[in-house]
Chain A
Amino acid sequence: MQAFAASCAIAAAIALPAHAAPKTTLNLGMAVEPTGLDPTIAAPVAIGQVTWQNVFEGLVSIGEDGKVQPQLAKSWEVSADGLTYTFKLQDGVTFHDGETFDAAAAKFSLDRARGKDSVNPQKRFFASIASIDTPDAGTLVLHLSEPTGSLLYWLGWPASVMVGPKSAGNDKTVPVGTGPFKFVNWAKGDKVELAKNDAYWNKQVSVQLDKVTFRFIADPQAQAAALKSGDIDAIPEFGAPELMSSFDGDTRLTTEIGNTELKVVAGMNNARKPFDDKRVRQALMMAIDRPTVIEGAWSGLGTAIGSHYTPNDPGYQDMTGVLAYSPEKAKALLAEAGYPNGFSFTIKVPQMAYAPRSAQVMQAMFAEIGVTMNIEPTEFPAKWVQDVMKDRAYEMTIVAHAEPMDIDIYSRDPYYFNYNNPDFNALLKKVQLTANPAEQNKLYGEAQKILAEDVPALYLFVMPKLGVWDKKLKGLWKNEPIPSNVLTNVSWEE
């Protein structure tokens, strides 16, 4: 009885602090450590996943719904010809080092991104900006050389964030932004620590977290162990779908399955035989039963797609029915294209788990229509970028495209698909001629249709966002319209 009373007292003592005040720290796990912390000079998405919206902010931002919303620019006007953008900036905004954010700082940021020596990974976003005026400290005017309907959306990206003229040079190791969190420390190979910015300009949001630690854990088993042992509070993008069910029945953790922008596609070299024949590409697409690929590659978690577009994206249309699974029709098409006995080719497969697994399932499906696919492993990013992106020395490959709204890659020349369709290019040009979202969505719908019929790449599935976190943690994004970990509204429930 005494022992019982004692253990009650101990239990109460342990439980008490939890009730005293809500937690204000967060340990968030990520698989990939960022390389540098300045999203305006390097491409890896992990950089934005730590800093975007937390440390750095943009003129505009992209919300959880994927829509553009005001941020450091409180409003804007676009001239009727689409060539002049006038932004009204927020007042009283300072960078973490005390430097003032105004029109001059905004002009500095954009000039740095579009300048001759710029190494901005998305420099093309700013290509149509001809000149920038700052009539007063609160007004920024962009003069464009041609209408650019996606400009506002692009200005919401990590690569377009506002940097301080004094601090920009050091942002890669000591990032200084205007966001709700300040950079504290980066223990390389291990963690990045942020702390609440008490001088945050936006009084409409109340930031609940005082301290945030991003921890980098590459191995999915180690991720699971860290979650279960309580070392980590959340892993917004858990690495292994096959381990998701191991969290079932855990009283402390919750799992959330959302969408990302990661489109898993098997790109073909459209300049090479037999992939230069649309019928061959269509036959290969019809030989694939997407749900089986998703089952085999990603434990059934993921959304089938029929073109290079995700359900997160504005104007999404389900195109999976255009070339639906039908081995008989596929065989007939192959015969029509002159391959009654099939053919054989090689796919270059990067090492990321989804790629070899998808390829193996596809290999079996192609065999059913008499097509032999040889699987050749390759190393991502280094060797893949060299062979596929740069040299375009490949027949088929498979990779998840992470950039949101990058349907325009099919109109880029050069790009690794070697796809060239003037109708498609004209459509995407039209998208830039209007800034009207409804009009843009209609055009994007037509573009999706062309890709679904032309299949320059085999469209497989959108990767799910496998979130695992403490049940008491609120405000993390379920979906991911842009790779990020936005912590502004994250809090612990009492």
Chain B
Amino acid sequence: MIALLSRRIAGLVVTLLIVSFLIFAVMGLLPGDPASIMLGTSAAPDTLAALRHDLGLDQPLIVRYGHWVAGVLRGDLGQSYTYSVPVAGLIAERLAVTLPLAIFAILISIAIALPLGTFAAARRGGIADIAATLFSQMGIAVPAFWVALLMIILFSTTLGLMPAGGFPGWENGIAAALQALVMPAFALALPQAAVLTRVTRSAVLDVLHEDFTRTARAKGLSDKAVLWRHAVPNALVPILTVLGLQFTFLVAGAVLVENVFNLPGLGRLALQALAQRDIIVMQDVVLFFAALVIIMNFIVDMSYLAIDPRLRREGA
């Protein structure tokens, strides 16, 4: 087991290294020079050369890659070209918005999808099932940013109940910060909840046809007890797998919603860095996203191993 684990971790590190090189290579292919964007259209060639030297852009590619990777391994993500501050701090500031937003959205999505999906499965073909199917189809079809716009029009400009956007910062109190995140979290959560409702419904339905639920029923347990004590816990594995995937999607994919609600999140940082060719920031953010996906997959894999002894033996 330990040998397997260390092999998997070694594989993880190699994957991350390869990914880091790919990220660096792709950024190198992008047209556009950060220095000439900073200095604008009037800059003289010698001014440009001075700035390129200041930024280290005049060094060979492989040297720059070495500096970057060595820095990241030391925990130093470098300095943003445009903001002139350490990238680690920038990412941390943005995560303070994006992570709570993603967690908030996941919680909302679970709160909607688990009961809805379960009831739909329990009363298959009934009104709850039809409603759930309708909701999940609409939720998947309607883009999150559009839901976001509708919510702003209704709750902010028409009713004046909610701030239209922006983020007050955690230092101004948890209540104000959470208030700013409610609508974006709902906008993000609805499409996720739609997918999760479907998954929950089919997972619970599958389990309801298994032998052990039939046995439970034969023992004389009520339908309710069978559903909540036996079916739902056993359906959780596929649901958790989807949740794991959704979480990485939410962290990386909140760009549009962050834009509509004007939230200073990680997605907006990535977009802005791309426009300004703030290459260091882009490399770090993309590496962060990649690492998040790779590590999430790793955790999901490992949890399968923990659940299913057969996989452990095969692996060893």
Interface residues of A (CB under 8 A from B): 33, 35-36, 42-44, 116-124, 172-173, 187-191, 215-219, 221-222, 225-226, 228-231, 379, 381-383, 385-387, 389-390, 403
Contact = CB atoms under 8 A, between A and B. Distances in A.
A121 B37 CA distance: 10
Contact of B39 (A42, A190, A216): A42
12 contacts: A33-B272, A43-B43, A122-B42, A187-B169, A191-B166, A217-B165, A222-B259, A226-B165, A226-B166, A379-B32, A382-B276, A386-B31
B43 A385 contact: no
Contacts of A190: 166-167, 169, 262, 264
A385 B51 contact: no
B236 interface: no
Contacts of A389: 36, 41
Contacts of B15: none
Given A120-B47, A218-B259, A225-B156, A42 B42 contact: no
Nearest to B155: A229
B157 A229 contact: yes
Given A172-B84, A189-B264, A385-B41, A225 B93 contact: no
B164 A123 contact: no
Nearest to A45: B40
A124 B45 CA distance: 11
**Size class of the contact patch on chain B:** 35 or more
Contacts of B259: 218-219, 222
A8 B108 CA distance: 39
A45 to B, nearest CB: 9
**Which of B93, B166, B277, B278 has the most chain A CB atoms inside 10 A of its CB?**
B166
Contacts of B264: 187-190
Contacts of B286: none
Interface string B162-205: 01111101000000000000000000000000000000000000
Contact of A228 (B31, B90, B157, B262): B157
Given A381-B32, A382-B277, A219 B260 contact: yes
A35 B82 contact: yes
A222 B165 contact: yes
Overall SS of chain A's interface: loop
Contacts of A382: 30-33, 37, 275-277
A383 B275 CA distance: 10
A42 B163 CA distance: 34
**Which of A123, A189, A215, A386 has the most chain B CB atoms inside 10 A of its CB?**
A189
Given A35-B38, A43-B39, A231-B163, A383 B32 contact: yes
B164 A189 contact: no
B156 A229 contact: yes
B72 to A, nearest CB: 21
B230 interface: no
Nearest to A390: B36
Contacts of A383: 31-32
B50 interface: yes
B257 to A, nearest CB: 11
**Which of B31, B44, B160, B164 has the most chain A CB atoms inside 10 A of its CB?**
B164
A386 B84 contact: no
B56 to A, nearest CB: 14
Contacts of A217: 165-166, 262
Nearest to B89: A188
B272 A403 contact: no
Contacts of B38: 35, 42-44, 119, 121
B269 A123 contact: no
A117 B50 contact: yes
B98 to A, nearest CB: 11
B85 interface: yes
B29 to A, nearest CB: 12
A385 B32 contact: yes
A42 B39 CA distance: 5
A222 B262 contact: yes
A212 to B, nearest CB: 16
Nearest to A38: B84
A218 B47 contact: no
B42 A215 contact: no
Contact of A385 (B33, B54, B82, B93): B33
B43 A173 contact: no
A261 to B, nearest CB: 14
**Which of B42, B82, B90 has the most chain A CB atoms inside 10 A of its CB?**
B42
B53 to A, nearest CB: 9
A114 to B, nearest CB: 11
B185 to A, nearest CB: 17
Contacts of A36: 82-84
A383 B93 CA distance: 29
B164 A225 contact: yes
Contacts of B277: 382
Contacts of A33: 272
B164 A387 contact: no
A172 B160 CA distance: 37
**Which of B39, B51, B269 has the most chain A CB atoms inside 10 A of its CB?**
B39
B24 interface: no
B261 interface: yes
B30 A119 contact: no
